[in-house]
Structure 1
């Protein structure tokens, strides 16, 4: 099973979210897991034994330069990486939901509209999960 995790930014949240990898590997020991992250956070994930590839995205520079074309270039780059069986958006923001949706996959998972900071993100998922937004980040 080929799985993509989308958690683009927020250093502490990325670190806390890495715990999910051991549960995925326990359930699917032969799974291949790629993690999609903003370029500046790539180093945090690079030597994790549960991650096969860290896919860096540079959306922040597109935002800072106000370049819509650079933003779409980054998203189009994702489409060329191949198909995944499952994509999990662990962030629940519109930008992470867009990235998750752009990754070719059979299923895209994410938080429902009441469980994420940006409720519009839920529109981009095939399957949605309700988890109280106030819940501890590790539990989420």
Structure 2
């Protein structure tokens, strides 16, 4: 039974990080807005994530910088001290996020059911979603809004982009030429594909008449990876790694015909812009973390490796089980990626 049969006055959403996860969460939050436009929504999110979503229409975004620790929590609590929400959607399993809920007043504090509530999250909530079946993170976030009383719906995304961001994107590449965006870096280097293989696919795309943009964060390891890919190429790519804001990056991705990426934030940003993603997966379960609209274009060696490492069939492993090792991504070939690229552009 739904928690609310009419629109509640106010809801607080707690999902601090990461970029991919807040891209999943925004679809769920905007589903609430569509059905209950009068409900006031406050969203507590991380500092980096707010660079992408801090200007969402009709949402009060409160930024929590996790590096500020307990002092930062007290600032949030003071900011919300005069407010009691009808419901708090506690969508993050980390203990730090659970600690933050202690100073937020809400009639209902809703979390994951005990089967999935890692790090003791179930101790910090008084209502639990029923869901144990959904494998994808986005589907589990939607279970929160269905629990509230939102009707079943397909996810949609509206992330505001300024004219300046769109113009920036247009200036990075020739208009009229199709664009492949390669975001080569995952959160950990072992999850990256091989440098020379990114280069080979980039060369192939350029030979098919595409322009290729390399994108990513200013982290030194990402900058180095981009430079190494460029050095391994015969053709010339446009390298904007470390040279964009998250909004500018979103606008660049929006211009693409195809995005190539491992399990990473830009892969999920592409989903919000309805751009098909060739997702490269080896360490995490693509059924759980793939770009949501790109199920048929994921290339995965996860199943093989996780079953070998745990000596169990996939259906007997936890949905969040990871495969480990620096060698895994080498099992994805250039030929597989080019075949998928051709399949997408043929459409």
After TM superposition, is the score higher than 0.5? yes
Secondary structure at 1:18 match in 2? helix
CA–CA distance in structure 2, aligned partners of residues 36 and 73 of structure 1: 16
Paired position in structure 1 for 2:128? 128
Structure 1 residues 57-76: Cα deviation after superposition (integer angstroms, max 9, x where no partner): 112x14xxxxxxxx222222
1:75 equivalenced with 2:73 (yes/no):
yes
Computing the radius of gyration from Cα coordinates, the structure with the larger value is 2
Distance in 2 of aligned mates of 1:73 and 1:133: 38
State the partner residue of 2:240: none
Question: Is 4-13 or 122-131 further displaced after alignment?
Answer: 122-131
Indicate the structure whose relative CO is greater, using CA pairs within 8 Å and at least 6 residues apart.
1
Residue of structure 1 equivalent to 2:87 = 86
What's the Cα RMSD here?
Answer: 1.8
Pick closer, same or farther for the CA change 1:98–1:130 going to 2, 3 Å: farther
Q: After superposition, what is the alpha-carbon deviation per residue over 1:27-47, rounded to whole angstroms, capped at 9, x for unaligned?
A: 322011111011121122122
Q: Secondary structure at the match of 1:35?
A: strand
Number of aligned residue pairs = 129
User: Do the aligned partners of 2:110 and 2:125 also contact (CA within 8 Å) in 1?
Assistant: yes
2:107 partner SS: strand
2:105 counterpart of 1:97: no
Counterpart check, 1:7 vs 2:15: yes
Q: TM-score, normalised by structure 2?
A: 0.35
Seen in structure 2, the aligned counterparts of structure 1 residues 128 and 119 have a Cα distance that, compared at 3 Å, is: farther
Unaligned runs of 5+ residues in structure 2 are 1-8, 141-347
Q: Which residue number corresponds to residue 47 of structure 1?
A: 55
The structure in which a higher percent of residues are helix is 2
1:133 deviates by: 7.5
Q: Within 2, Cα distance between the matches of 1:45 and 1:127?
A: 27
Contact 2:113 2:132 in 1 (8 A): no
Find the aligned partners of 1:55 and 1:47 in 2 and give their Cα distance: 11
CA deviation vs aligned residue, 1:1-60 (integer Å, no higher than 9, x gap): 111100011110101111112321233220111110111211221222252x1101112x
More strand by share: 1
1:38 is matched with which residue?
A: 46
Task: Return the TM-score normalized by structure 1.
Answer: 0.81
